[in-house]
Amino acid sequence: MSLSNLLKIMAIMTCALSTSTWALPQSNPVPGGIVTLKLSDKTELKPEAFYKDKAVMVTAHEGYWHAVVGLGLNTPLGYQEVRVNGKGIAFNVIHKDYPEQHITLKTNKHVDLSEADLKRHKGEKQKANKAFNSFDETQSPDFAFMKPVKGSFSSLFGLKRFFNEKPRNPHSGLDIAAPKGAPILTPSPGKVVLTGNFFFNGNVVYVDHGQGLISMFCHLSEIGVEQGDTLIKGQPLGKVGATGRVTGPHLHWSVSLNNARVDPMLLLP
């Protein structure tokens, strides 16, 4: 049996196992967290839910409709609400302290951008925002994510980052240390909505898992999929590399929910 066929069989087996262990993410109402809210009995029509004027995921679980809401790292503490069929459902965001991380780069190319690099970055950011704003209601997300690559967690989500001692945006993903060329597997079924070579992120792949749940995989040495491809859980999508703003080979994995970057650890076993 060829390696590719073996990987496909393993991926299908993984999907079958995940179906029986499916569950909503655990509610974690902190900046960078996820909030799950019980809405109504499933016998009623599926409600529409919005947070900060953005549509949020509504999914059925154990006989009820639930809203699953991503909270960005800049979410204010205290009172927040989701609007459901025009009515507000309140929840409270609590503090979480994220530590600092200081990174030394060999040059300042990725710290103080030239006019040309800044222009390139702005164009790429527009493409990324379009991908993160995707809201495909034809897909039902599988929250039982698998770790996309074998390796240790080298840089956690939410770290307050300093590059060459200059403060920059907090770490909006999870870094997994792995050797160059290690296979990156799709953590949950989805559709490829964007690929490319970006200034900061290097070779990058965006996968839409449905209803505003998006994964971004950065710094790849090789991209093994194309925009429009439908992927099953466990299917290879590329290989670990060191492209873009990096100090060595690793996978940077971001998870976005209603265009808010959330901690990928919340979706792992």
As given in the structure block, the two tokens for residue 46 are 């599926």
What pLDDT, on the 0 to 100 scale, is given for residue 12? 41
Distance of alpha carbon 6 from alpha carbon 36, whole angstroms: 37
User: What are the φ/ψ torsions at residue 17 (nearest 5 degrees)?
Assistant: -65, -40
Give the model's confidence band at 86: pLDDT under 50 very low, under 70 low, under 90 confident, else very high.
Answer: confident
pLDDT at 165 over 70: no
CATH H superfamily, domain 3-93:
Peptidoglycan hydrolase domains (2.60.40.1590)
Task: Please name which of 95, 98, 93 lies closest in space to residue 70, comparing C-alpha atoms.
Answer: 93
What pLDDT, on the 0 to 100 scale, is given for residue 6? 46
Contact 177, 210 (CB under 8 A): no
As given in the structure block, the two tokens for residue 100 are 């600092």
What is the torsion angle, in degrees rounded to the nearest 10, for the CA atoms of residue 125, residue 130, residue 133 and residue 138?
-150
Distance of alpha carbon 149 from alpha carbon 13, whole angstroms: 17
What's the mean pLDDT in 251-258?
97
Give the model's confidence band at 1: pLDDT under 50 very low, under 70 low, under 90 confident, else very high.
Answer: very low
Least confident of 14-18, 108-112, 129-133, 164-168: 14-18
What pLDDT, on the 0 to 100 scale, is given for residue 43? 79
| Two domains, one topology: 3-93 and 100-267 | no
For residue range 143-154, list pLDDT tens digits in order.
999 999 999 999
Local structure of 118: helix, strand or coil: helix
Least confident of 18-22, 28-32, 108-112: 18-22
Locus of tokens 């039902």? 140
For the chain, give the mean pLDDT: 88
What pLDDT, on the 0 to 100 scale, is given for residue 9? 42
Locus of tokens 């590059």? 163
Higher pLDDT, 79 or 3: 79
What pLDDT, on the 0 to 100 scale, is given for residue 224? 98
Based on the number of CB atoms within 10 Å of its own CB, is 132 exposed (0-12), middle (13-18) or buried (19 or more)? buried
The model's pTM:
0.85
What pLDDT, on the 0 to 100 scale, is given for residue 140? 86
Distance of alpha carbon 90 from alpha carbon 52, whole angstroms: 13
Strands annotated E in the chain: 34-41, 49-51, 54-55, 57-61, 64-70, 78-84, 87-93, 100-103, 152-155, 160-163, 166-167, 174-177, 183-185, 190-198, 202-210, 213-223, 230-231, 236-240, 250-257, 260-262
pLDDT at 21 over 60: no
Distance of alpha carbon 29 from alpha carbon 39, whole angstroms: 17
pLDDT at 38 over 90: yes
Higher pLDDT, 209 or 140: 209
For residue range 88-137, list pLDDT tens digits in order.
999 999 999 887 767 676 777 777 778 998 899 899 999 999 999 999 99
The torsion region of residue 3 among left (phi > 0), alpha (psi -120 to 50) and beta comes to alpha
CATH class (in words) of the domain with range 100-267: mainly beta
Domain range list for the chain: 3-93, 100-267
pLDDT at 242 over 90: yes
Least confident of 52-61, 69-78, 155-164, 256-265: 155-164
